[in-house]
Amino acid sequence: MIGILLGFRFRAAALIIMTAVTVVIGVVAGGIGSLFDWGRLVSILLLVIVLQCAYLLGLVLGVIWRRDMSREQ
């Protein structure tokens, strides 16, 4: 949901910041000792992929919504 909102409202700088926040939260939640565990790395990678795909979906929805709003005016 956060990724969709980022794509709908904000631009790439916000995505970069939220990607870093996602990685930091994934590391802290998993514990520093298991940072180089393959399961933890895959989990963090999947979180980042989902965030970025949701961002792209938000971009598409934002473009569609803006086009519809400009046609109505």
Token output for 1: 């949901």
pLDDT of residue 26: 85
Q: By the 8 A CB rule, do 6 and 15 touch?
A: yes
pTM of the model: 0.76
pLDDT tens profile 6-62: 777 777 888 888 899 998 888 888 776 666 788 888 888 999 999 999 888 888 888
pLDDT of residue 34: 63
What is the secondary structure of the chain as a DSSP string? -HHHHHHHH--HHHHHHHHHHHHHHHHHHH-GGGTT-HHHHHHHHHHHHHHHHHHHHHHHHHHHHHHHHHHH-
